[in-house]
Chain A
């Protein structure tokens, strides 16, 4: 049969045959990745945490500082891809589901590098009645199970990490000292303290965390609380009940003792939205759940691709994925 359509298909054959259609990760890696997923599932089943699925197209956007959500337009409707499954999971917790976990697709616009992919899998879970410290121990227990390494770890506060590895007290340092510490990178920070400290964190501190054991970086400054509650540190300064876990200089997890005050949370998200030039929409269903009341809980998100990268000694997160952003 020779219809114009068929001829066309044949004419394009050589071009489509040249397309690189094969998966990025070899099947051996995919098998080991599947094994890590199974071990994760077993870990939570044993502990009585319920596995759930969350939507990939949300009615409202996640509004984490420095994280840009993707969106799709369906006719006149705009939907947002989750930057993490945080909102639907908290709605489930608020509804009385108890402890829940998911391994869900997450999307972050423009994040592309050795440790970043615009599309990846986020392992996220919530524990009722727990605080951030207890949850950090459970994260390390899971990471130890997945990697086969010991659960030996150290805990350092955000402030002490700057004092130890960057030689400054981030809360009291004067601008001149900070600029001197940045050296040639001072021009990048352009007199913005938050940017200057983030730059020092990525340049001088993070590469030294998690060497030979897990590191829990905790007690973030109150202005970096995201959705964590605020508590007072030993020295009396208000800090966020937030932690991150590092291994080999790589950040793997971000967790909070969750903020329960729905009104305060709305205020934080509205402030973040106002600071953006883009027109994201607040996730009103999520905020309604928070206004109704989230039970006392701690939650954590783990970049699953980074865990696979680390467990299998792969060079980048792309090497853990069947199809990466570049060839999806």
Chain B
């Protein structure tokens, strides 16, 4: 079990609290004049995505989580889980559909992305911030409607996911989407 003094902990460290791995988002040091020091951490649970404020005393030790991000390629899914492969070691891991959630809408076969491993077990994926996808179906634009602020749903080819796109986007168009906000960010020129 690796530990670290709380004074050394910074943003980005991964720690174990109550048996779960947490990522440190923010550290604040507070201390009354001649009193005891406290560290107020804002942490996010790497399994559930819940955030929490955690207070610790100066001088305490914290347990480091054995968490690493590894670049892998998305292979396929079998309904309950998604399979990824490390292109250097050819090691294959599977991540449950539950951990992946709505990110599945942007998971295209052969895509490279980061898989988070905790104690060598995959727990989450991190998509690239933007992905390029092809529109499988969207309602054709009504002639004369040039208001580009109006959005309509479009179905993503290969994943079946939906995103909102401007009215001028047509079937077969390649578009870029922000995976964090799920918003359309542009059309790839043909």
- Cβ-defined contact, A224 with B34, below 8 A: yes
Minimum Cβ distance to chain A for residue B87 (Å)? 30
Q: Which residue of B7, B27, B29, B57 contacts A188 across the interface (Cβ within 8 Å)?
A: B57
CB of A195 closer than 8 Å to a CB of B: yes
The complex places the Cα of A52 from the Cα of B57 at a distance, in Å, of 37
The complex places the Cα of A315 from the Cα of B62 at a distance, in Å, of 28
Binds A, one of B35-43, B116-124, B169-177: B35-43
Kindly list chain A residues whose C-beta atoms are within 8 Å of the C-beta of B7: 110, 112
Kindly list chain B residues whose C-beta atoms are within 8 Å of the C-beta of A251: 32-33
CB of A260 closer than 8 Å to a CB of B: no
CB of B153 closer than 8 Å to a CB of A: no
Of all chain A residues, the one with the shortest Cβ separation from B57 is A188
The complex places the Cα of A129 from the Cα of B45 at a distance, in Å, of 57
Binds B, one of A64-72, A130-138, A145-153, A229-237: A64-72
- Cβ-defined contact, B55 with A201, below 8 A: no
CB of A199 closer than 8 Å to a CB of B: yes
The complex places the Cα of A226 from the Cα of B29 at a distance, in Å, of 22
CB of A202 closer than 8 Å to a CB of B: yes
Minimum Cβ distance to chain A for residue B139 (Å)? 48
- Cβ-defined contact, B55 with A194, below 8 A: no
Chain A: how many interface residues by the 8 Å CB criterion?
26
CB of B150 closer than 8 Å to a CB of A: no
Kindly list chain A residues whose C-beta atoms are within 8 Å of the C-beta of B11: none
The complex places the Cα of A224 from the Cα of B57 at a distance, in Å, of 19
Given contacts A66-B37, A198-B36, A199-B38, contact A188 B31 (CB under 8 A): no
Kindly list chain B residues whose C-beta atoms are within 8 Å of the C-beta of A113: 27-30
CB of B161 closer than 8 Å to a CB of A: no
Of all chain A residues, the one with the shortest Cβ separation from B6 is A110
Chain B, interface residues (CB within 8 Å), range: 10 to 19
Kindly list chain B residues whose C-beta atoms are within 8 Å of the C-beta of A116: 29, 31
Given contacts A110-B7, A185-B55, A188-B56, contact A226 B34 (CB under 8 A): yes
- Cβ-defined contact, A206 with B57, below 8 A: no
- Cβ-defined contact, A188 with B33, below 8 A: no
Kindly list chain A residues whose C-beta atoms are within 8 Å of the C-beta of B27: 113
Kindly list chain B residues whose C-beta atoms are within 8 Å of the C-beta of A195: 36, 57
- Cβ-defined contact, B29 with A112, below 8 A: yes
- A158-175 contact mask (Cβ, 8 Å, vs B): 1 or 0: 000000000000000000
- Cβ-defined contact, B58 with A110, below 8 A: yes
Q: Which residue of A111, A185, A194, A244 contacts B31 across the interface (Cβ within 8 Å)?
A: A111
- B1-43 contact mask (Cβ, 8 Å, vs A): 1 or 0: 0000001000000000000000000011111111111100000
Minimum Cβ distance to chain B for residue A265 (Å)? 15
Kindly list chain B residues whose C-beta atoms are within 8 Å of the C-beta of A64: 34
Q: Which residue of A65, A114, A224 contacts B28 across the interface (Cβ within 8 Å)?
A: A114
The complex places the Cα of A15 from the Cα of B128 at a distance, in Å, of 30
Of all chain B residues, the one with the shortest Cβ separation from A187 is B55
- Cβ-defined contact, B32 with A206, below 8 A: yes
Q: Which residue of A185, A188, A198, A203 contacts B35 across the interface (Cβ within 8 Å)?
A: A198
List 4 extra interface pairs beyond A114-B28, A199-B55, A224-B34, CB under 8 A. A65-B35, A66-B37, A113-B28, A188-B38
**Chain A positions near chain B (C-beta within 8 angstroms):** 64-67, 110-116, 185, 188, 194-195, 198-199, 201-203, 206, 224, 226, 244, 251, 254
8 nearest A-B pairs in the assembled complex, by CB-CB distance: A113-B29, A198-B35, A110-B7, A198-B36, A202-B30, A254-B33, A65-B34, A188-B55
**Chain B positions near chain A (C-beta within 8 angstroms):** 7, 27-38, 55-58
